């Protein structure tokens, strides 16, 4: 049987989550059905160069990309497909793409910027659109939308890197005043994932260091109250009628789910299903779907909750619109436990991308 669709798998990227993206892409590439799909590997270097060719993933991981072809997607729907940037064949068509599967995490991949390019190029793509991606990525905006939607979130405040650079002592005082002098606090870049740049701060000196660390990764820094909480996650799948998986629980090897605890420390545990009362599990699933709809998400997302050990109340922590996608990542594992194995999950995401494209194509953009 010859492949019926050409899928461009996009990975790497100019982000602090570059290596995580490569790991996710390796799993996706190994599980896509080659009888159904022709696969085009597209890697983005840490400096933002797009490259394609045989074995692009391995080449990017090894730093040996000389044999790959520089490529681009044009923001011009009349010249679709993957185009060469090689001097001899500049802008010639290398591959028509039916669907782009972004296996990218963090900035320039998950924040709406790539989605804007794909929208302008008129290509179907897996995952949320521009608005869902950008709001889901920005922790401050996301919390504001959740609070406006009646979904509980932990108290927070936001400040800019310029405030820290101009008067860090004043910034420390404003944070403590906004959050009632509460410690511990979590400091996070407003736009990043995989726990990159996040610090748990038990004192003003910790907060000082945490602000400097987070400011390396973003111009906006979020500071929120810390909880003695269990970490519960729910996977959501769908477009206009999304469905939620069973919840899972993370028991990190570190104090919280740091980058090292996620990807390097084998002592971290994923409990699937999470040991929760049925009513609570159903409440989390309903809230996950409500949050997904509130930001107009599509395709997929992993919704993360904090379950307060003392009060028993839960808070929505964040939504991840392009979650980790290795075979041991929580998003696919929750769907596998809910009856949808990894290869069929990929098929479903591609079908949802095409469905979303058909819906977009109904829209009139220019008055006739």
Tell me: the pLDDT tens digits for 263-305? 444 667 899 999 999 999 999 999 999 999 999 999 999 999 9
Taking the C-alpha atoms of residue 3 and residue 51, their distance in angstroms, rounded to an integer, is 23
Among the listed residues 83, 285, 302, 356, the single catalytic one is 302
Among 21, 52, 194, 235, the one annotated catalytic: 194
| Cα separation values, 197 from 60, 191, 306, Å | 24, 10, 19
Catalytic residue among 55, 119, 263, 308: 263
User: Does position 32 have pLDDT exceeding 50, yes or no?
Assistant: yes
Distance between CA atoms of 84 and 69, rounded to whole angstroms? 7
Any catalytic annotation for residue 368? no
State how far the Cα of 280 lies from the Cα of 286, in Å rounded to an integer: 10
Q: Residue 41 catalytic? A: no
Average of pLDDT values for 29-58? 96
Catalytic: 329?
A: no
| Residue-level length of the chain | 368
Cα separation, 118 vs 39, in Å, equals: 18
Catalytic residue from among 12, 13, 16, 17: 17
Task: Sketch out the chain's domains with CATH numbers.
Answer: 5-125 (3.40.50.20), 136-151+227-359 (3.30.470.20), 156-225 (3.30.1490.20)
Given 249, 324, 342, 356, which residue is catalytic? 324
* Global pTM value: 0.92
Assess whether pLDDT exceeds 90 at residue 88.
Answer: no
């Amino acid at each position: 049987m010859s492949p019926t669709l050409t899928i461009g798998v996009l990975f790497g990227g100019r982000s602090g989550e570059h290596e995580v993206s490569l790991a996710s892409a390796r799993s996706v590439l190994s599980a896509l059905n080659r009888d159904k799909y022709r696969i085009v590997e597209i890697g983005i270097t840490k400096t933002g160069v797009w490259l394609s060719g045989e074995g692009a993933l391995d080449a990017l991981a090894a730093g040996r990309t000389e044999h790959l072809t520089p490529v681009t997607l044009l923001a011009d729907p009349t010249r679709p497909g993957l185009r060469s940037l090689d001097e001899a064949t500049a802008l010639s068509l290398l591959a028509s793409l039916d669907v782009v599967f972004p296996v990218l995490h963090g900035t320039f991949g998950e924040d709406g910027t790539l989605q804007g390019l794909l929208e302008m190029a008129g290509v179907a793509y897996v995952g949320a659109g521009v608005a869902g991606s950008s709001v889901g990525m920005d922790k401050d905006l996301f919390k504001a939308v959740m609070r406006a939607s009646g979904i509980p979130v932990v108290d927070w405040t936001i400040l800019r890197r310029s405030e820290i650079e101009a008067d860090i002592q004043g910034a420390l005082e404003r944070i403590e005043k906004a959050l009632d002098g509460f410690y511990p606090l979590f400091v996070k870049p407003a736009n990043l994932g995989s726990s990159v740049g996040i610090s748990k701060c038990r004192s003003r000196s910790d907060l000082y260091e945490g602000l400097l660390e987070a400011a390396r990764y973003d111009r906006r820094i979020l500071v929120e109250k810390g909880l003695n909480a269990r970490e519960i996650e729910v996977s959501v799948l769908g477009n206009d009628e999304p469905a939620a998986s069973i919840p899972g629980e993370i028991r990190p090897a570190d104090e919280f789910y740091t980058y090292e605890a996620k990807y390097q420390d084998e002592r971290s545990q994923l409990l699937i299903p999470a040991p929760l009362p049925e009513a609570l599990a159903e409440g989390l699933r309903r809230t996950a779907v409500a949050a997904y709809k509130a930001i107009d998400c599509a395709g997929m997302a992993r919704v993360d909750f904090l379950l307060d050990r003392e009060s028993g109340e839960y808070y929505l922590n964040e939504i991840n619109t392009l979650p980790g996608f290795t075979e041991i990542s929580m998003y696919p594992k929750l769907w596998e436990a809910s009856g949808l194995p990894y290869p069929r999950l990929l098929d479903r995401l591609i079908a949802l991308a095409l469905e979303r494209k058909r819906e977009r194509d109904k829209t009139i953009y220019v008055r006739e």
